Amino acid sequence: MDNKKQNSLLDQSGQTMVEYILIFAVIASVAVAVLNSNYFKNFFGDNGKFATIYKSEIEFSYTNSHQGRKVFEKPDYSSPSHPSYVGSSGTRFFGAAEPYPTP
């Protein structure tokens, strides 16, 4: 009985399992090496190029109420109906439904 158990680990299914484990180990080690590299951290890290550009675009879109921008483009605030205040679906600002009670 024991010989049969030992032989089942040495057959084709056991070899396949060992190969999958080895492939997983190689892929995991390559992933760790890439994620810990300075190039990856400089590009995708907290202060990397991608994070810095993405943060500035999100801040610009939120502040100026329109997505994206061209280099050196500034929004036109001379119009009293700026889309950041009143748009087609109303204003993005909110307030109380009823006036505040006087003390």
Q: Is residue 29 predicted with pLDDT exceeding 90?
A: yes
pLDDT digits (tens, 9 = 90+) for 67-101: 666 655 565 666 656 555 655 666 666 667 788 78
- 25 band by pLDDT with thresholds 50, 70 and 90: very high
3-state class of 47 per DSSP?
Answer: coil
Cα angle 89, 92, 96 (rounded to 5 degrees) comes to: 110
- For the segment 36-68, what is each residue's pLDDT rounded down to a tens digit? 999 888 888 888 888 888 888 888 777 766 666
- Extents of the domains making up the chain: 2-65
Half-sphere exposure (CA, 13 Å, Cβ side) for 40?
Answer: 8
| DSSP reduced 3-state for 58 | helix
pTM flag (> 0.75): no
